[in-house]
Amino acid sequence: MLIPLGPMPIAVAVLLLVWGFVGNPIPVAWGTWMTRVIPGDLEAGGGLQVAVIQFAITFGAFSGGLLFDLSGWRAPLLLSGALLAAASALAATATGEASA
């Protein structure tokens, strides 16, 4: 949404605020989940969290850069949007199964 709304500073500010409110609680939720699931291995869980995040950053930068070089600036944005939608659908499915 940042691309079509780019010329509108207020809309961009609202999108960034929403992103901040949605994204910032994730580390807290992850830590809370780990304390409940692996209370005796929190250090190992934290190490795994750091490793997964670092891998995701590295792989995302590599694949996004490669896609940018091959197809231009829109391709990485479209791919990231598609991956976000797929991850959201997977999370919703997993959440639905857990509560059933």
pLDDT digit string, tens, across residues 17-40 = 999 998 888 888 888 989 999 999
CA gap 61, 67 in Å, rounded: 10
pLDDT digit string, tens, across residues 43-99 = 998 898 899 999 999 999 999 999 999 999 999 999 999 999 999 999 889 877 655
pLDDT value for 1: 84
* 37-73 as b/e: b if 16+ CB within 10 A: eeeeeeeebeeeeeeeeeeeeeeeeeeeeebeeeeee
pLDDT value for 75: 94
**Domain map (residue ranges) of the chain:** 1-37, 41-100
pLDDT value for 90: 93
Q: Say if residues 15 and 1 touch (Cβ distance below 8 Å).
A: yes
Burial zone of 76 (CB within 10 Å; 0-12 exposed, 13-18 middle, 19+ buried):
buried
